[in-house]
Structure 1
């Protein structure tokens, strides 16, 4: 009898079991970390070395999707390989693309001519998949997650985070207002949601595909546009061909910038957003003064 009481005492005094929320990509996890307390463990499904555009999941990752107390992802339209796994889940899930009012940009390739490649096999080619770079989309996601999985939310969340996000975006847009018309170059174009939110000009884009560069004719055309538009700022994603960017724009200030946040030590979304905005400001200001 005494041993039974000891067991019951140990169970009652033990800390509550942690719940796990799995986010498909790191920027979604950054939002979730801002909302939940220590009773909820937030993990990112994709590893830093995995390409979300050519996604292949390990058995361990597939198991993580099944066992998560909540699964948060972009949706089948842009994360098709995840769809069958999420469909087999017993627990709740939140798909950003399934939320009413989500902001979708076109695939982002209509500024190119003569390219028919689809960079995202299995994806909806009409939707730019980098939805996490829209602050409005992340505020929408925070609200949906808070309703779907309220256990473990910090006091005042998600409303406090949504207000902080709106205030920060307004402040950063104001800080960049004087640079809004400065031209810039991007190897790929993952930045549409963010540059639109910040009120920046559309960039000159080198290639629709991260793993391919422009042909010789396209390169000559781009070099002429760089010269004629006096482009002096280039954003360099981790997968971009740095040497090609340098040849294309030898006078450019090059700003390394990762749209997936893999190079950032910031664990939460708003500090990471501040880093991205500061990177834009540094590059555009250097170009404007050059």
Structure 2
């Protein structure tokens, strides 16, 4: 479909489209497969695995907290025109509902490949992408999903996925080496997003908030965390992007710890410490090495 006709179709069907909506809503004139990703890590995977063969749009816009995503009717309607809708079921209820009603066989749920496990309080921890090894498993799975939806280019999708796995394996090795010898192995983070990372690299995690950053602690929990920081000799409390740092700053002030910023990589903005997933993960590693006093 020519761009002018695509815009007209959007106007008639959806009440108008933004610049990013045309590719997600129709097969472009250049033949790229339209892919919609629920939030940033899935968009990064989709872009790397799809390469030049796909046009990716993201439901969760930069700077938006993905846990709390609400979708417009226009965004929901647009899902019916994507050939692949990549999501993590259970993480964003609004996305789950929209995909169930609109996406049909286009839905690509990465939950099984991510091998999610319970986090604090028994709630399933969705933050698989902070573990490069889990991220690599999802990349491979996504390559197969794209190959199934576009068989003519199956070899390219699988090759792109393999190249990304190579990059993620190198990132994993950097983390293993960089965090192998640290004076402190206890992480105190803005919310309990870093459990998979901590488990992978021999660290412990205590989240100020729960799995969702909205799950703020009560006064008793804050006192317990403050005591934990003192007893464990924690010298750095980690705030994070997209969430106000007030609670982290309070604990740091009470204990004499400093505050540093770890990015849970739920979105990329101009304030992020890198332009993509790999760059921000390496920035996080540098922050952790300093904050945990790693040699």
TM-score normalised per structure 1: 0.76
- Cα distance in 1 for partners of 2:78, 2:290 equals 39
2:243 is aligned with 1:252: no
Kindly indicate whether the alpha-carbon contact (under 8 Å) linking 1:180 and 1:201 is maintained by their aligned counterparts in 2: no
Kindly indicate whether the alpha-carbon contact (under 8 Å) linking 2:38 and 2:59 is maintained by their aligned counterparts in 1: yes
Kindly indicate whether the alpha-carbon contact (under 8 Å) linking 2:62 and 2:267 is maintained by their aligned counterparts in 1: no
Aligned to 2:174: 171
TM-fit CA distance, 1:266 = 4.3
TM-fit CA distance, 1:84 = 3.4
TM-fit CA distance, 1:68 = 1.3
Structure 1 residues 49-64: aligned runs within 5 Å = 49-64=63-78
Kindly indicate whether the alpha-carbon contact (under 8 Å) linking 1:186 and 1:204 is maintained by their aligned counterparts in 2: yes
TM-fit CA distance, 1:258 = 2.5
Matched residues, number? 255
TM-fit CA distance, 1:202 = 1.2
Name the CA shift for 1:277/1:235 in 2 (closer, same or farther; >3 Å): same
- Equivalent position SS for 1:78: coil
Kindly indicate whether the alpha-carbon contact (under 8 Å) linking 2:36 and 2:85 is maintained by their aligned counterparts in 1: yes
TM-fit CA distance, 1:192 = 0.8
Cα RMSD between the aligned structures?
A: 2.7
Runs of 4+ with >6 A deviation: none
TM-fit CA distance, 1:247 = 2.7
- Cα distance in 1 for partners of 2:225, 2:127 equals 24
- Cα distance in 2 for partners of 1:202, 1:226 equals 12
Match of 1:134 among 121, 131, 136: 131
Structure 1 residues 112-123: aligned runs within 5 Å = none
Match of 2:268 among 258, 262, 265: 262
Name the CA shift for 1:226/1:46 in 2 (closer, same or farther; >3 Å): same
Structure 1 residues 38-117: aligned runs within 5 Å = 38-75=52-89, 77-87=90-100, 88-99=102-113, 102-106=114-118, 108-110=119-121
- Equivalent position SS for 1:178: coil
TM-fit CA distance, 1:158 = 1.3
- Stretch moving more, 230-239 or 45-54: 45-54
Unaligned runs of 5+ in 1: 1-13, 111-124
- Cα distance in 2 for partners of 1:21, 1:238 equals 26
Unaligned runs of 5+ in 2: 1-27
